[in-house]
Amino acid sequence: MSDGPYKYIRDADGKVSRVISVGTRKSQLARIQTDSVVEKLKEFYPDVHFEIVAMSTTGDKILDTALSKIGEKSLFTKELENALEKNEVDLVVHSLKDLPTVLPEGFTIGSVLKRENPHDAVVLHPKHKGQCLESLANKSVVGTSSLRRAAQLKKRFPNLEFKDIRGNLNTRLKKLDEKDDFSAIILAAAGLWRMGWENRISQILGPDVCMYAVGQGALAIEVRARDQDILEMVSVLNDSETALRCMAERAFLKQLEGGCSVPVAVYTEVKNSQLYLTGAVYSLDGSDSLKETMQTSISSDSQAEEQEKVDEKVQRVGITALKVSEAPQDAAVKLGVDLGNLLLGKGAKEILTVARQLNDAR
């Protein structure tokens, strides 16, 4: 039954609960991630009935082409956003790294959850068990669908060959294990942990070897910007530190006008109320690169006072963080913009333009 815009359900005992529909991709990882978010929401709102609506996206359907070649920014999000726009779902759970830095009109990220390990991991073919990238034989083939990973690793391991591998996590692992095409593949550590496959990780790549993608390891909840009650509801899951780190990363990427089709990488950390952002851009083969680090203070002196002033209408790089003070949010975004400008001043635009052209020509 529905009452105006809200849906309700009556259980066998006659108890009436509000129904919130949650959109997700159909892949096993997406389902696991969405289930974990719904479990967390249920802890805060035990009287709400959450129903999960799974759907296939363009990115799930086009499996024979490298992501960077398809050139569509919202590969994994468009169908979900259409459902959100039509009120078929009330909120959508995404991997934050799949969400473009500018969201379509009327949408916002209402919550950025506590980040898991954002680094990349090496998964070896069973016959190479116990090895690592350093010890693989010359000309060994490593699978990755990411220009960012390939650019950094080609420079570091010129003796290895890097080839595209597409598909969801299950598909990629199957391609690795059941054929002899790849000696290893590179995947996000967070996804492997969430799937319970951490035993397949042979090595985690630290920032000195391979910096990660903007937003990697963090889950995000996208909502309709006008739905104040839903925005309020999901904001309880906002993790301040993750939100600030990801705002800086997203602002950096946005300033560079980067996306899936260019190699841009980041590394962030918070120490003693200072947010450190390292950002880099690469040529496709990694031979040309620019990398810089900047920092800013994200301490909020009068937390309580600030709390009152949070403007619900303000989105920063697509994120509305109701439970995070405004001054640190502004500082985080400025940090990303400033670092982007620093790299642009040193020639980042040229590196990325050539990378984009070469990728288009592949």
d(CA 321, CA 232): 10
The one catalytic residue among 3, 35, 98, 301: 98
Rg (CA), the chain: 21
Distances from the Cα of 189 to the Cαs of 20, 120, 144, 235, 265, in angstroms?
30, 5, 13, 26, 16
Rounded-to-10 torsion of CA 199, 67, 82, 329:
70
* Other CB atoms within 10 A of residue 10 CB: 10
* 252 burial type by CB count under 10 A (0-12 exposed, 13-18 middle, 19+ buried): buried
Q: How far is CA 231 from CA 111, 115, 208, 223, in A?
A: 8, 20, 38, 7
Cα 284 to Cα 362: distance, rounded to the nearest angstrom: 11
Question: If we measure between CA atoms, which residue out of 114, 115, 137 comes closest to residue 125?
Answer: 137
78 with 62: CB under 8 angstroms?
Answer: no
* Strand residue runs (E) in the chain: 2-3, 6-10, 16-25, 49-55, 91-95, 107-112, 120-124, 141-143, 161-163, 184-188, 201-205, 219-224, 264-271, 274-282, 289-297
- To the query of whether residue 64 is one of the catalytic residues in this protein, the response is no
Residue 223: both structure tokens together = 């909502």
Token pair belonging to 226: 């006008």
Rounded CA-CA distance 253/258 in Å is 5
Residues, the chain = 362
| Catalytic positions, written as ranges | 98
